[in-house]
Structure 1
Amino acid sequence: MRRSQAGGPEAMRGCRRRYWPAVLAMGAAVALAGPELELRVGDFRQGLEGWQAREFNGATTYRLVTLDGEQVLEAEADGAASALFYEADIDPGQTPWLSWRWRVESTFGPATDERRKSGDDYAARIYVVRSGGWAWWRTRALNYVWSSGQPEGARWPSAYAGDNVQLIALDSGADRAGEWVHHVRDLRADWRQAFGEELDSLDGVALMTDADDTGGSARAWYADIRLSGAPPER
């Protein structure tokens, strides 16, 4: 993930400047499961409404495909990096649980040092952002990744953005490549552990498959990205 010029799109990538200063609530499907609220930001069976592309260094190809009999989002990067982001005014007090499924074709190999800029590529990542508005230095992002070399459960600061962006390895290596993996995260607990503060608001969800720093290639699939008031059943 290379740095962009000031005023460019590095807020989505390096997380160094003001994130999404004008936050828009954009068309998420909302459902009530009993008393609990559910925000379906990535129900790709319904298409890509509300998601916007942001290019950093070349373009990752995002497209809807049918895989295992369902429509999902496919991401393919060949020495490139671009993201899809979904801006929304999110209240973690109402929807503190983030869940999704992802699948990768492969990773970049265990020798990849993701703590350095030269290795800052991930076959799959999903992250949440709290904007600092014009006080861009207060922007924070929590970045869940399928790591090539870091062990599952490891957490480290972004090679580009430093401590303001924390990465957490939920999957590691290629042992589960080709399989769907389901994750459920308590955003408030993860945020507290990563930044030592309470999470009172979020301004968006993003996903990215990137391969520009390593000069390699990656392919991944994403499905069922949801925010909910209670942890969903697997």
Structure 2
Amino acid sequence: MIATALLLAAAQGWVGRFTTPGPPPAPWRVVRIGKKAPPTRFRVTKLGGVTAMEAVAVKSMALLARPVTVDLAATPVLCWRWWIDAPVAAADMRSKRGDDYAARIYVAFDLPDSAMSRGTRFKLGIARRLFGSDVPDAALNYVWDNRHPVGTTLPSAYTDRARLIVAETGSTQAGRWVSERADVAADFGRAFGGVPGKLTQIAIASDTDNTGSSARAGFADLQFVGRDQRCPA
């Protein structure tokens, strides 16, 4: 019965529906990058009347990730809902010391070798030796920032293989559920050029290790849809 439900959800483009309170369900897993900071804590609970994945960060960093198989030609748009207590006041997406976000959605890609220079492949090899095999060929990060306008896109302060895209900003919407919609295929083209490679992983996070801050976020209803489809209510 559970397997049938999972297959149906996958066919409908669902990648994150959280219904049962408790620890993160499979295939979600906590991924620590670098392992220097303590991990952000994740659990399914009720936030603002919505059963969702809660992320609590206290000077911490970790992704809650899962593998995905998505046909971006057919369903290039990612829908989700998120909620935060407040943005990270001391964050600054232009620097490593300020690279913290109350909430972010992370989408990772595998690319063919022909789409990357020899230098890029060499740098990725070094990054994986330092930070682990979860480092992707390319990644988009949709973030809830503290100051930059929605739509701001910048390279990560850590690597040019990741782009930060401000999907929400400031504290005006803090303390309430906000629905988002992002054309992942189009955003990849603007960030890296060409068509997306294979989308391999999606992750959610709240991270505060660089600023030594605290944050709490909630995530719900992650689904890929076509450009002509509406996001779930």
TM-score w.r.t. length of structure 1:
0.79
State the shift of 1:232 in Å.
2.3
Of the candidates 136, 150, 153, which is equivalent to residue 151 of structure 2?
A: 153
State the shift of 1:197 in Å.
1.4
State the shift of 1:90 in Å.
2.4
Q: CA RMSD in A?
A: 2.2
Instruction: State the Cα deviation string for residues 99-137 of structure 1 (Å, max 9, x = none).
Output: 00000001122x532110000000000021112488447
Aligned residues: 202
Code of the aligned partner of 1:120: D
State the shift of 1:189 in Å.
1.1
1:84 matched to 2:64: yes
> Using the alignment, how far apart are the partners of 1:143 and 1:200 within structure 2?
16
State the shift of 1:49 in Å.
2.4
Instruction: State the Cα deviation string for residues 50-90 of structure 1 (Å, max 9, x = none).
Output: 10111232110101112344321110000010111111232
1:95 matched to 2:72: no
Code of the aligned partner of 2:28: W
User: Which SS does the other structure have where 1:193 is aligned?
Assistant: helix
1:44 matched to 2:18: yes
Code of the aligned partner of 1:116: S
Sequence identity (%)? 36
TM-score w.r.t. length of structure 2:
0.79
Cα pair 2:141 2:165 within 8 Å, conserved: yes
Change beyond 3 A, Cα 1:29–1:75: farther
> Using the alignment, how far apart are the partners of 1:133 and 1:60 within structure 2?
32
> Using the alignment, how far apart are the partners of 2:223 and 2:103 within structure 1?
16
1:116 equivalent in structure 2: 95
Code of the aligned partner of 1:153: G
2:219 equivalent in structure 1: 222
Structure 1 segments unaligned to the other structure (5+ residues): 1-26
Change beyond 3 A, Cα 1:31–1:54: closer
> Using the alignment, how far apart are the partners of 2:7 and 2:56 within structure 1?
26
Q: Write 1 or 2 for the structure with the bigger share of helix.
A: 2
2:129 equivalent in structure 1: none
> Using the alignment, how far apart are the partners of 1:28 and 1:95 within structure 2?
18
1:203 equivalent in structure 2: 200
State the shift of 1:149 in Å.
2.1
1:30 matched to 2:4: no
User: Which SS does the other structure have where 1:190 is aligned?
Assistant: helix
Instruction: State the Cα deviation string for residues 128-177 of structure 1 (Å, max 9, x = none).
Output: 11124884478110110000122211000001112x10000011111110
State the shift of 1:31 in Å.
4.3
Change beyond 3 A, Cα 1:28–1:87: farther
Q: Write 1 or 2 for the structure with the bigger share of strand.
A: 1
Code of the aligned partner of 1:195: F
1:105 matched to 2:85: yes
Cα pair 1:28 1:41 within 8 Å, conserved: no
> Using the alignment, how far apart are the partners of 1:216 and 1:177 within structure 2?
17
Cα pair 2:150 2:167 within 8 Å, conserved: yes
